Structure 1
Amino acid sequence: MVTMTMTYRGTRALITGASSGLGAEFARRLAGRGADLVLVARRADRLEALAAELKTAHGVTVTVLPADLTAPDAAESLHGRLAERGIAVQTLVNNAGFGVHGPVLEAEPGALAAEIQLNIGALVALSRAFLPELVSAARGGASTALVNVASTAAYQPTPMMAVYGASKAFVLSFTEALAWETRESRLKVLALSPGATRTEFFDVVGTEAAAVGSYQTSEQVVETALRALDRRRTPASVISGRANAVTAGFAGVMPRSATLAVSGRLLARD
């Protein structure tokens, strides 16, 4: 395995869901490697505070763009706002997403629709909108990446979080396919699959019953992504945490019915 520490100096990274958790950590780590930033999330006050921190700590330029990515035209609007300012992006981290816990029968239909739009719709739309400039920058020799945050939930059905797991399975499959399609460019395309992580995710879900396995920190998860991106041959996908990787591996070889039964028992815990 050949690795190097990629520098992102002279490039700009757009990070969604940047107000906390993995998004904020990606912002800190990429700024530490010299990248200017575009930070996107709904909470403008959180973004402004993070922007001030990173400008002071690393001397980078930070553009704050509050946006609700559950809106159907959010990705196109975001891309247009940046184009109007003459701001090009060389790295995109699609981190924004959330989960709904409980039986589909009892879920609020609007919440499920928003979950699908954010986890899938916005991610695909943003990837498509920015992909031409990412590929162009990669072919020009810049350090470039497209990181889509999936989940270990992508590797098996997830009763009680059926839409979330299915959406992350989509993200994993979509990103791996995109990595193959762009393989002739120097763009590094990576699906990052964390397990349970100490972020605000479970506050939004409303229960830690959705957490399976040992918790990792945001720092550990982002470090996994950066190590993968530092490799000369970046894999199309990576799972954060050895135990999570082993569990996902077992899910791939177990009979589907057994995997479903196990995940159903784990996720139905109170």
Structure 2
Amino acid sequence: MPTALITGASAGLGAEFARQLARRRADLILVARSIGPLEELAAELRSAHGVAVEVITADLAVADDVDRVAARLRDEDDPVDLLVNNAGFGLPLQFADNDIDDEVRHLRVHVEASMRLMHAALQTMRRRGGRIINVASVAGFISRSTYSACKSWLIGFSRWANAEYSRDGVSVTALCPGFAHTTFHERMGLEQGEEGVPRFMWLHAPEVVRTGLRDAALGRAVSIPSLRYKAIVALAGILPRSLTSGVARRGRV
């Protein structure tokens, strides 16, 4: 059976990836900072689907923890077939109002950790094939603070890597959801109503994950769930940055 490693697996999109992949009979390696929720999810998936589930507690803002996860990805005796770089968090204020140490940690988790784990995964995947899904965001197509910049980097790097390593049988897909019903916004102390975003703009986690898995299987470099967000991305490419960044201040995607 294939093996998938998922970061940020204790809640939100990460947990949904775990559930959908377990239903497809994939063995799992779940990575997150909190051992309690990870163990609960692992027990649930073992019981419901009879798959093997390994748990790794790691804070991907900490270099030693990233190295431990990377070492697991480089294990040729028990290789990983799918890497889902999902770990991430948002910051509640604008750049100049956030603590700079929080901004640096944010950059390490979204960009540096994702890059290091991709590099580790490619060491075995180039010899046997595999898939990498980088959970980015529609925000990566819009100018807005460091979250947007991090996700833009992830999208651009995924596009290049997908073209470069497809010849080795490895696909790299940037999954770019918009607003989704997960715990992401709650962790920043924000409720859905505070975002100032219409209800129809919110996506459901199962829909986002199904789209990402499908597009990765098709070898697509970028996956944007729902037609409405595809339209937003198309408009963002032609509208002035001053306009799109102003609209983006209304919420966090």
Partners of 2:8 and 2:61 in 1: CA distance? 12
**SS in structure 1 at match of 2:37:** helix
| Structure 1: runs of 5 or more not aligned | 1-9, 139-143
Partners of 1:32 and 1:63 in 2: CA distance? 16
Could you tell me whether the CA contact under 8 Å between 1:74 and 1:122 is conserved in 2?
no
Partners of 2:247 and 2:148 in 1: CA distance? 14
- 1:176-191 pair list within 5 angstroms: 176-191=159-174
TM superposition score normalised by structure 1: 0.86
**Quick one: which amino acid aligns to residue 206 of structure 2?**
E
* Worse-matched range after superposition: 103-112 or 209-218: 209-218
- Does 2:207 align with 1:225? no
- 1:158-237 pair list within 5 angstroms: 158=144, 162-208=145-191, 209=194, 212=197, 214-231=201-218, 234-237=219-222
The percentage of counterpart residues that share the same residue type is 37
- Does 2:251 align with 1:261? no
TM superposition score normalised by structure 2: 0.91
Residue among 42, 52, 60 paired with 1:51? 42
Q: C-alpha displacement at 1:258, in angstroms?
A: 2.4
Residue 109 of structure 1 is matched in structure 2 by 100
Partners of 1:74 and 1:210 in 2: CA distance? 33
Could you tell me whether the CA contact under 8 Å between 1:101 and 1:210 is conserved in 2?
no
Q: C-alpha displacement at 1:184, in angstroms?
A: 0.6
* Worse-matched range after superposition: 19-28 or 104-113: 104-113
**SS in structure 2 at match of 1:183:** helix
Could you tell me whether the CA contact under 8 Å between 2:7 and 2:86 is conserved in 1?
yes
Residue among 41, 55, 72 paired with 2:63? 72
Partners of 2:126 and 2:204 in 1: CA distance? 31
Residue 137 of structure 2 is matched in structure 1 by 151
Residue 4 of structure 1 is matched in structure 2 by none
Could you tell me whether the CA contact under 8 Å between 2:76 and 2:124 is conserved in 1?
no
Q: C-alpha displacement at 1:32, in angstroms?
A: 1.3
**SS in structure 2 at match of 1:200:** coil
Q: Which deviations, in whole Å up to 9, do the C-alpha atoms of 1:61-83 show, x marking residues without a partner?
A: 11011111110233222233566
Residue among 61, 79, 83 paired with 1:88? 79
Partners of 2:116 and 2:236 in 1: CA distance? 30
Q: Which deviations, in whole Å up to 9, do the C-alpha atoms of 1:206-261 show, x marking residues without a partner?
A: 22455755111110100111221343xx2100111211111111000112232223
